[in-house]
Amino acid sequence: MRVALKFAYDGKNFSGYARQPGQRTIEQALLDLLIDREILGDAKTSYFRTASRTDQGVSALGNVCAFDIVCSKEKIFRQLTTETSDIFIYGAQQVEPGFYPRHAKQREYRYYLRRNDLDVDALLSAAGLFIGEHNFQNFARVEPLKNPIRTINNIIIAEKKDFLILDFYAQTFLWNQIRRIVSALEKRGNGVLSNEQIRDALEHPDMKVDFQVAAPEPLILKDVIYDFSFEYVKDYKKNLQIFENRIVGLL
């Protein structure tokens, strides 16, 4: 049987996501937790895979992993009802054999940008430039042979206390894409960039520009969406809110 789990973590307390020798990473801590609770034997034989490998410092409220198990889904829930200090596993669902969590329907990211003296209207007008299909060569760290064309379905911006909350919605994102977009938006809000400069960078990807990269700590993988629903532990929404508040409180 193959199972998908939904989990949250505070990325600031790890040396990145992927396993690295001698480093405390999210993936290794998650595997250690699952092995310790006798839910899986090892990553290789269980075909362990993750939806998104977030950058160092980035947190998550709804990342997803999947692996093959021999125990029941009920046993998983009995084993995963306790929140750990840095990783919180709160959802599970049986999935088809061979299910690969990277093939998601949609990903949702959230960035907490300090408002300071930003011109919010200018920032909002620039955010609209990124919605739709674009070549994001100038707004991502594009790996060799990687297609730089992506579609952002929506960007929703809200104000909360000292922050602007920027929510990004797309099926897939490129490496550093959101953080580079946020950096450009912040510069637009500060009056350093114009909409015309941002538009030119999108429409002329061959014209290399660098609007720099925003800090990773305020970025949160909010959710990963599929064509099925998860079953959740009791009070998971309340616990997720506490988790998010803790992450934001350290910014």
Which run of H or E residues covers position 33? helix 26-36
Three-state secondary-structure class, residue 122? helix
Tell me if 38 is assigned to some domain. Answer: yes
Q: Look at residues 72, 81, 63 and name the one whose alpha carbon lies nearest to residue 2.
A: 72
List, by residue number, the catalytic residues.
Answer: 55
| Percent of the chain residues topping a pLDDT of 70 | 98
Query: By residue range, what is the domain housing residue 232?
Result: 2-103+228-236
- Per residue in 178-198, pLDDT (tens digit) is 999 999 999 999 999 999 999
Q: Are 17 and 190 in contact (CB under 8 A)?
A: no
- Per residue in 210-246, pLDDT (tens digit) is 999 999 999 999 999 999 999 998 889 998 998 899 8
Q: Look at residues 10, 51, 19 and name the one whose alpha carbon lies nearest to residue 251.
A: 10
Of 39-48, 203-212, 214-223, where does mean pLDDT reach its minimum?
39-48
Output the six-digit token pair for 19: 């396993």
Do residue 47 and residue 122 come from a single domain? no
Q: Are 184 and 126 in contact (CB under 8 A)?
A: yes
Do residue 37 and residue 56 come from a single domain? yes
Residue 248: DSSP 8-state: H
Tell me if 249 is assigned to some domain. Answer: no
